[in-house]
């Protein structure tokens, strides 16, 4: 991972309404540092609709348009077009949504924007459940996790939806994953996305201590262990979905070390954990194979 | 310049002359021609606008919401299921106080599938806070678009123009097309005070607690009440430049009428022909067309109907378990102020033709009805 310096400027002030250790809040602070003041935001229903603060206050210095749950991407498209017609082609328009607003209800509008290749940055802060409504499963919730709608007696058995592949299938110019444990990397990606025309999709792993039954001080540690245990691979997809780079330059850690401190996985038996470990490794191998395959297509490498 | 065009294209020409800057729409019969012509106009540079080709009506309205919040004039058109899919974002446009203009071609709602006209699609959006204007001719359709933008932008409220499927959308009529310069005199560029602007940042639509929410709703109602005067003034200004005016309601031969038929949309023109016929027979009958449905023109309606002896309302819609929707509104306009009897007639649902014979049947029933306070009379139902 290349290092980027973290700008001193703060665009997110005090007075936000997030819980302690909220990864989504850390992510926003870094994203805004990377984008600077000439940025307009769209936020659908999600924790961030609350975190921003209540009327007439806002903890963010850039303009924010709050919108309905399923519309982040297309409202961003509308704002971009509206600004353009007023002669402002420079402002970066960023849609900022949770995994529910991205993987589930907002998928159609996001797919539409991506298919048109509208010039927006879409950031999904992935905390792997509907947190704003009180921790219900989303299609991003991983296998084994407890949520209020996947209780321990019938925890989630279907795998997390592969949003990255879905976005890659749209042949947009830039897709990346990131983690709040690696802010330099995230900021580099956001800054890079800002320079690219078209639809950019960045998915940042953002722990939610409240929803994961996790001690807030472990938030950043979990964000790191998710990556080093290969549970949440860090990738970059460029060349309109044709080139995949997987970050491998880390000391591998165990999946159990990642899962243990989280109350949402507490009920899992040894055998179940083993099954999850196997699946994580299989996914990782598939990812590496895909990286190789794409890299070997002549003319696209 | 005069040209024979279809009703749908009258919308497109109205939008072109209004210089909308962002258009976003999704096809649905019988609206499709509106956006086909507009996308052609955008593609060949006749209009300087961004056309966002979205994947659904929900997104069409959401794109307009974004564009309008960014300070650009935004337009969309739809019909029936499309309007219903927009429902949530219709509310959003109102709450965010965005002057978006939408043309809805009244089409019946499924199931069963039907592409033909009736008003249940737009009337089931009655309470979202959009102004609703029902038009009856291609000329009126074209003319109402810049009027709608002007009204919308002054009030910071969205406006819906509503027209009958096929009877209007697909009918060709002569239209005196706008001259762009003249429209510019009438409709200045959209320049909102507060918009998405990095040099003057605001947070739009964030949380409002119980201490603020009600005030924001109150302001919407205030805008609606004020809109009556704004619509009248805009109509006058329009008349000064173009020589045509439409009013909130239109009374036809009502001065000495003992019975008045209340209608809307294209049924109004058929009704006028029937009124003429009956007048020739010496029957004192008139017609009242409701053009502006939201805000409801309570005073104007009272003014006309309180002087007559009997009122018959023709509804091309039904509020299931209630009555015809125009009928309900007329009743509430007169309630407690006059005891003129009102009868409701449901006709022409799902595109069934409301012919002069149907209107004559309703008029004859209304004239001979001994017990006229009947809420629902179904006309022409086969049983
Ligand atoms: C149409 C609609 N359905 C449901 C809701 C209720 N709702 C608000 S936020 C939310 C969950 C958001 O989850 P996610 O996008 O993952 O963001 P998070 O809360 O985790 O930050 C739901 C279900 C809504 N606002 N709109
Ligand atoms: S519930 Fe989770 S995502 Fe929401 S503010 Fe709290 S920590 Fe952040």
What is the A60 CA–ligand 2 centroid distance (Å)?
17
What span, in angstroms and rounded, lies between the C-alpha atoms of B16 and B142? 10
- Residue B173, strand partner residues: B5
Of A93, A166, A157, residue with least CA distance to A123: A93
CA-based nearest distance A147→chain B, Å: 26
- Pairwise CB contact (< 8 Å): B206 & A54: yes
pTM of the complete model: 0.95
Q: What is the pLDDT along chain B (383 residues), one digit of tens a residue?
A: 999 999 999 999 999 999 999 999 999 999 999 999 999 999 999 999 999 999 999 999 999 999 999 999 999 999 999 999 999 999 999 999 999 999 999 999 999 999 999 999 999 999 999 999 999 999 999 999 999 999 999 999 999 999 999 999 999 999 999 999 999 999 999 999 999 999 999 999 999 999 999 999 999 999 999 999 999 999 999 999 999 999 999 999 999 999 999 999 999 999 999 999 999 999 999 999 999 999 999 999 999 999 999 999 999 999 999 999 999 999 999 999 999 999 999 999 999 999 999 999 999 999 998 877 788 999 999 98
Percent helix, strand, coil in chain B, to 5, is 40, 20, 40
Mutation for testing the A interface, residue in B63, B76, B89, B209 having most A CBs under 10 Å: B63
CA of residue B358 relative to chain centroid, distance: 24
Instruction: Tell me the ipTM for this assembly.
Output: 0.92
Q: Provide the terminal-to-terminal Cα distance of chain B, rounded to the nearest Å.
A: 50
* Strand pairing category for B172-176 and B2-6: antiparallel
CA-based nearest distance B97→chain A, Å: 13
What is the A96 CA–ligand 1 centroid distance (Å)?
13
Of B280, B368, B361, B5, residue with least CA distance to B170: B5
What span, in angstroms and rounded, lies between the C-alpha atoms of B251 and A80? 46
Contacts of A115 in chain B (CB under 8 A): 55
- Pairwise CB contact (< 8 Å): A68 & B89: yes
Q: In what order do the strands lie in the sheet with B159-164?
A: B50-53, B22-25, B74-79, B101-106, B159-164, B131-134, B292-294
Tokens of B265: 């949309």
What span, in angstroms and rounded, lies between the C-alpha atoms of B313 and B300? 16
Tokens of A280: 């994580």
> Are the C-beta atoms of B269 and B289 separated by less than 8 Å?
no
Write phi, then psi, for B151 (nearest 5 degrees): -65, -45
What is the A47 CA–ligand 1 centroid distance (Å)?
8
> Are the C-beta atoms of B61 and B89 separated by less than 8 Å?
yes
Give the torsion through C-alpha atoms of B333, B336, B340, B342, to 10 deg: 50
What span, in angstroms and rounded, lies between the C-alpha atoms of A214 and A260? 10
């Amino acid at each position: 991972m290349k290092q980027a310096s973290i700008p001193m400027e703060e665009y997110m002030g005090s007075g936000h309404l997030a819980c302690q250790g909220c990864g989504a809040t850390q992510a926003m602070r870094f994203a805004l540092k990377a984008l600077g003041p000439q940025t307009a935001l769209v936020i659908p229903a999600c924790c961030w609709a609350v975190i921003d603060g209540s009327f007439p206050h806002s903890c963010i210095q850039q303009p924010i348009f709050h919108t309905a749950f399923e519309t982040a991407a297309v409202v961003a498209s509308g704002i971009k077009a509206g600004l353009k017609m007023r002669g402002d082609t420079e402002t970066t328009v960023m849609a900022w949504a949770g995994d529910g607003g991205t993987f589930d209800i907002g998928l159609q509008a996001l797919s539409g924007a991506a298919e048109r290749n509208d010039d927006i940055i879409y950031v999904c802060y992935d905390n792997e459940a509907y947190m704003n409504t009180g921790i219900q499963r989303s299609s991003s919730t991983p296998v084994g996790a407890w949520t209020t709608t996947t209780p321990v007696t019938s925890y989630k058995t279907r795998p997390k939806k592969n949003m990255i592949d879905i976005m890659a299938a749209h042949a947009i110019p830039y897709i990346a994953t990131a983690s709040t444990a690696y802010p330099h990397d995230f900021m580099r990606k956001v800054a890079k996305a800002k320079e690219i025309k078209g639809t950019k999709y960045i998915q940042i792993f953002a722990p939610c201590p409240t929803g994961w039954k996790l001690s807030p001080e472990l938030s950043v540690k979990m964000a790191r262990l998710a990556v080093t245990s290969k549970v949440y691979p860090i990738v970059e997809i460029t060349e309109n979905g044709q080139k995949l780079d997987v970050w491998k330059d880390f000391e591998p850690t165990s999946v159990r070390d990642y899962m243990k401190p989280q109350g949402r996985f507490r009920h899992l038996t040894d055998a179940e954990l083993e099954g999850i470990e196997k699946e994580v490794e299989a996914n990782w191998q598939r990812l590496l194979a895909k990286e190789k395959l794409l890299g070997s297509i002549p003319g696209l490498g | 310049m005069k040209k024979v065009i279809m009703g749908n294209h009258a919308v497109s020409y109205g939008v072109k002359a209004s210089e909308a800057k962002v258009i976003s729409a999704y096809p649905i019969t019988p609206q499709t021609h509106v956006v086909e012509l507009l996308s052609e106009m955008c593609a060949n540079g006749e209009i300087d606008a961004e056309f966002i080709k979205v994947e659904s009506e929900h997104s069409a309205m959401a794109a307009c919401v974004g564009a309008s919040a960014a300070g650009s004039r935004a337009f969309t058109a739809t019909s029936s299921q499309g309007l219903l899919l927009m429902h949530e974002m219709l509310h959003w446009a109102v709450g965010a106080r965005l002057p978006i203009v939408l043309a809805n071609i009244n089409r019946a709602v499924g199931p069963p599938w039907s592409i033909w006209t009736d008003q249940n699609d737009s009337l089931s959006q009655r309470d979202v806070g959009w102004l609703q204007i029902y038009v009856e001719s291609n000329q009126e359709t074209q003319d109402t678009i810049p009027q709608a933008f002007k009204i919308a932008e002054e009030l910071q409220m969205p406006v819906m123009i509503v027209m009958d499927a096929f009877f209007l959308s697909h009918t060709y009529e002569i239209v005196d097309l706008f001259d762009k310069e003249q429209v510019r005199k009438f409709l200045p560029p959209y320049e909102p005070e507060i918009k998405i602007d990095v040099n003057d940042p605001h947070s739009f639509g964030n949380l409002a607690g119980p201490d603020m929410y009600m005030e924001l709703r109150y302001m919407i109602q205030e805008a609606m009440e004020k809109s009556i005067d704004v619509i009248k003034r805009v109509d006058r200004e329009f008349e000064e430049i173009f020589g045509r005016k439409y009013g909130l309601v239109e009374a036809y031969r009502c001065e000495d009428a003992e019975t008045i038929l209340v209608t809307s949309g294209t049924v109004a023109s058929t009704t006028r022909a029937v009124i003429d016929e009956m007048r020739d027979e010496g029957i004192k009958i008139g017609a009242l067309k409701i053009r502006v449905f939201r805000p409801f023109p309570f005073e104007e309606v009272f003014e006309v109907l309180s002087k007559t002896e009997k009122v018959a309302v023709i509804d091309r819609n039904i509020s299931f378990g209630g009555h015809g929707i125009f009928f309900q509104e007329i009743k509430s306009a007169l309630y407690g102020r006059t005891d003129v009897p009102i009868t409701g007639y449901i006709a022409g649902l799902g595109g069934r033709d409301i012919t002069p014979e149907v209107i004559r049947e309703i008029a004859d029933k209304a004239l001979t009805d001994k017990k006229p306070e009947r809420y629902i009379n179904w006309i022409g139902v086969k049983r």
